[in-house]
Chain A
Amino acid sequence: MSMRSQVYEWSNLAASGQTSSLRRTVDAVPVVIPTNREYDIFIGGIGNNITKPAETTATQFIVIEDIACSAYLGGALQVRINTTDYFQNPDVTDQAGVPGLASPYPRGSSDSAVTDSITDYVQLLKSFDLYPDVYVLPGQVFQILYSLQSTNGAAAVTTVVAAFVKYTLYDGPDALIANKLLELGVTINPNNVDWYKRTLIEQQQRSRVAAVATNGGSA
């Protein structure tokens, strides 16, 4: 249980009369999101939130493998590690991040929520693959920031938008191995963590055999 595949889904849904809630609520209604502002999907005060900023402890290592969001209204997702934005323009200026059109959530959804139900049957596929993955080292804070270019409506008709993050959480000894792989310049994924464990075991076995040989056959 020390390497675990994890997901976090956010949407702008909250109980009627509220803008956010810890965890999810039954029959929640969509909340209007101001345009061209970045909202942390974990603690941004809109939709379902968690209790504290997302961060890794000293014994955790996180590898973010995929991010996706609603494809319409110019939605985009940015990853921020501590205070540094991951996606930037070629001139090293800020940008909104990965557009929902490039990494849609849900996969197969339409590029236009309004027309889809009547005339448009677009089923979007992803154009973007988060590779190489994004590493969150022990003790770092990370944010996933969602922003809209177009308004998602007024109180009467408000569009539901959502975002999705897939990551792998390495905990305890596996987080130490992940740090070691990082030092070695090896990609951190479950296969390589397992590979490193195997090499450790093989080394131990070899040294045990060598010790026996040195002692003239007695352990």
Chain B
Amino acid sequence: MSMRSQVYEWTSQATASPWTNTNTGNSVSIFIGGVGNNITKPAETTATQFVVIEDVAVSPTAFMPSSTITPGGFYRGLIQGGLGDAGCNGVIGNRAYIQVRINTTDYFLDPDNVGNDGIPGSASPYPRSTNFQPAFNLYPDVYVLPGQVFDALVTCYQNSAFGSSVATNALSAFMKYTLYDGPDALIANKLLEMGISINPGNVDWYKRTLIQSQSAAPAMA
């Protein structure tokens, strides 16, 4: 149980504190942002843990001619939102993005080296479907070293595009990561020093080399 595949799903409308238009345009933590389902404290690793984030995804968006879908109308399961001039702006869905933050550093940057909103839901959709397929693969993975705080921040730019419940297409996000604990976290640190990618296969490989070197030592004696 010292290497464990983990997932975290966030849904904006799942609780009594759902996403509202006042949140639109602001980044909200999927762990402790006060919107949707949250956890009790910031996500962090202890001194004996190592986390490798392997995938992040957020609700997709479709692009259309403006006025094709009227506000409240649906296209491929996504709702047309927007207020005022943007009431039928051809952006169907939340126009959502997800950023990963380690301690205080944003992972995804624009080419001018300024932190951006992160991965668009159109590139890494959640859920995936034949209509909305991924164009993005989080490789290399994101490492969260022992003692670091990590977060995933969702920003969306389309008002009133979140359904009223999970069933009606709420704004959602997803994170897949692997948690290495105890001895496996030490091995993960060792692999990091050695410049080897940290994944369960390489952790197992390192364990095997340790066992082989130990068993070779008595034979030499």
Contacts and interface: CB of A to CB of B under 8 A. Distances in A.
Interface centre among B85, B125, B136 (most CB of A within 10 A): B136
Given A30-B89, A117-B75, A160 B136 contact: no
A178 interface: no
A98 to B, nearest CB: 13
B81 to A, nearest CB: 8
B65 A114 contact: yes
A195 B68 CA distance: 51
Nearest to B161: A27
A55 B130 CA distance: 35
Given A1-B105, A105-B122, A201-B195, A157 B135 contact: no
Contact of B66 (A70, A117, A157): A157
B24 to A, nearest CB: 5
Nearest to B25: A26
Contact of A1 (B69, B90, B102): B102
Interface centre among B119, B195, B196 (most CB of A within 10 A): B195
Contact of B89 (A160, A162, A169, A190): A160
A201 B62 contact: no
Contact of A158 (B65, B69, B102, B125): B65
A160 B66 contact: yes
Contacts of B86: 16, 27-29
B82 to A, nearest CB: 5
A42 B91 contact: no
Secondary structure call for the A interface: mixed
Interface residues of B, number: 60
B85 A7 contact: no
Given A13-B91, A27-B158, A194 B66 contact: no
B157 A27 contact: yes
Nearest to B159: A27
B147 to A, nearest CB: 15
B120 interface: yes
B151 to A, nearest CB: 15
Interface stretch (A46-54, A82-90, A206-214): A46-54
Contacts of B108: 4, 6-7
A106 interface: yes
B63 interface: yes
A25 B95 CA distance: 11
Contact of A5 (B97, B114, B122, B140): B140
B89 A29 contact: yes
A123 to B, nearest CB: 5
A116 B62 CA distance: 11
Contacts of A29: 66, 85-86, 89
A194 B107 contact: no
B117 A105 contact: no
Contacts of A30: 66, 89-90
A68 B135 contact: yes
Interface string A8-20: 1101010010000
Nearest to A142: B111
Nearest to A191: B197
B83 interface: yes
B37 interface: no
A16 to B, nearest CB: 4
B140 A3 contact: yes
Nearest to A152: B65
A25 B66 contact: no
A138 B132 CA distance: 35
Interface centre among A26, A27, A114, A197 (most CB of B within 10 A): A27
Given A113-B65, A117-B68, A166-B135, 9 more contacts: A4-B109, A26-B158, A42-B111, A52-B112, A66-B135, A153-B65, A166-B123, A194-B196, A198-B195
14 contacts: A8-B110, A13-B89, A26-B157, A27-B158, A28-B86, A29-B89, A50-B111, A107-B132, A113-B63, A117-B69, A157-B65, A168-B140, A197-B194, A201-B194
